[in-house]
Amino acid sequence: MSLTTLENYFLPGSGGEVVQLLQEYGERAMILAGGSFVHGLAARNLLPGVDVFIDIQKLGLADIVAGSGGLEIGAMARLADLASVSEIREDAAWGALSDALRCPPVQIMNTATVGGNIAAACPYFDLPTAFLAIGASVRTEGSSGSREIDLEDFFTGLFENSLAQEEFLTGVALSRPEPGSASAFVKLETNANDLAIVNAAVHMTVDESGACQAARVALGGGVNEIPLRSAAAEKLLTGQVITDELPAKVGQAVQADISPMADHRASAEYRSAMASVLTERALRSAIARMTGGN
């Protein structure tokens, strides 16, 4: 598809209309949120047959609401809106998210939406990895109503997600973290407007004895076709008292769960080596946050 051959452009005012249009146009239709990835997809022939845009900016869905249960983020909230939420900036438990939100260039921060960053199911984006580590679910609306999907079950393949044909994403839900939690995110990139070659995020909850009670370790950026959690690393971390040697071991452990891709940006070997280095660095950074650093 090329933008100049677009057949139709809709600006629906309700979720119901969106679902109807998705039903009507099927594979020809694409949801347009911030629009920041459209060129990227089109230029790589990743939008074959698409010639109808359904722009969802009229739906609202841009609020970010903090409640006792956690945070409800509208799909159309811009990355910059999310970055300005004080709880995200200040709570060490959500540190991974604020780290990730420091990566995109300012133009992308102001145009890209949280929903678009997730729905694109691009393994090289940063928010999916951070959200996987801190724990998140997505909310959707479709022909059979709305549902909530655990983020881990959302990504199904390279640029593929578990949304049904006539279903779209309405928001992301974060639950309130346990006390004694901290998280951090690290990204490897070539320049400041690059997508991740590899990224990694670690979230941990530590009890009073200094032992890790619960941990989530997530990786993205081509360590697999989808961003994923490393069960091996999490298992190794859980129950351990934090020592200086531990981060390197946890970093090594992710090797059991990744199967890196090779492309013109990095070889599989390099991605594999970096997955360990970045996991270790993310863990060290989370530990520093836990112990009062930032």
Partner 1 sequence: MTSSTTSTTVLGKSVQRPDALDKVTGGKHYPVNVTLPGMLHAKLLRSPYPHARITGIDASAAAKLPGVKAVLLPQDVPQRKYCPVYFVPTLAPSMVQDMLIMSDTVRYAGQPVAAVAATTAAIAEQALELIEVDYEELPAVFDADAAMAEGAPQIHEGAENNIAVNPVVAFGDAEAAFEKADHIFEGVYETQRVHTCYMEPRVCVVDSDTGGNLTVHSSMQHLFGLREKLAFVLGMPESKVRVIKPAYIGGGFGGKLDIGYIEPVAALLSLKTGRPVRIEQTRYEDFISTTRNPIRVYLKTGISKDGRFVARYAESTLDCGAHATHGAEVINVHGMFGILLTYPCPDQHWEGKTVYTNNMIGGGYRGYGSPQGAFAVESQIDEICEELGFDPVEFRLKNSYHQGDPHPFNPQAKLDSYRFQDCLTQAAERIGWSSRKAAGSDQGVKKRGIGLGCQPIWVSGCVGFPDIYEHSGAIVKLNRDGTADLSTAAVDLGSGQITTLCMIAAEELGLEADQVRMTYADTDTVPFDAPSHASRVTYSSGNAVKAAAGQARQRLLEVAGGLLEASPDDLEVCEGMVRVKGSPDSQISVVDVVTRAESPFVVMTEEGPQPTNLEEKGTIIGLSSMAPPANPSPATVEFVEVEVDTETGQVKILRVVFAHDLGKLIHPAGAEGQVEGGFQQGMGYALMENLLFDPDSGACLSSDFLDYKMPTAVEMPPKIESIFIESNEPTGPFGAKSLSEPCVTVPAPAIANAIYNAVGVRVRELPITPEKILAGLGKL
Ligand X SMILES: Cc1cc2nc3c(=O)[nH]c(=O)nc-3n(C[C@H](O)[C@H](O)[C@H](O)COP(=O)(O)OP(=O)(O)OC[C@H]3O[C@@H](n4cnc5c(N)ncnc54)[C@H](O)[C@@H]3O)c2cc1C
- The residues binding partner 1 (CB under 8 A) are 2, 4-5, 39-40, 43-44, 105, 188, 190-195, 264-267, 269-270, 273-274, 277
User: Which positions ≥6 away from 210 have C-beta within 8 Å?
Assistant: 241, 242
Residue 214, strand partner residues: 205
Query: Are 198 and 223 a contacting pair, CB within 8 Å?
Result: yes
Q: How far apart are the first and last CA of the chain?
A: 45
Residue 215, strand partner residues: 204
Distance in Å, CB of 74 to ligand X, minimum: 9
Query: Are 80 and 118 a contacting pair, CB within 8 Å?
Result: no
Query: Are 209 and 253 a contacting pair, CB within 8 Å?
Result: no
Distance in Å, CB of 189 to partner 1, minimum: 9
Distance in Å, CB of 92 to ligand X, minimum: 21
Closer CB to ligand X, 16 or 239, in the complex: 16
Binding window for ligand X (CB under 6 A); candidates: 81-89, 114-122, 253-261, 270-278: 114-122
* Residue among 7, 3, 6, 9 nearest 31 (CA): 9
Query: Which of partner 1, ligand X, none binds 54 (CB below 5-8 Å, type-dependent)?
Result: none
Binding of residue 16 to ligand X (CB under 6 A): no
Distance in Å, CB of 255 to partner 1, minimum: 14
- Residues in touch with ligand X (CB under 6 A): 30-38, 40, 56, 75, 103-105, 108, 111-113, 115-117, 119-120, 125-127, 168-169, 193, 195
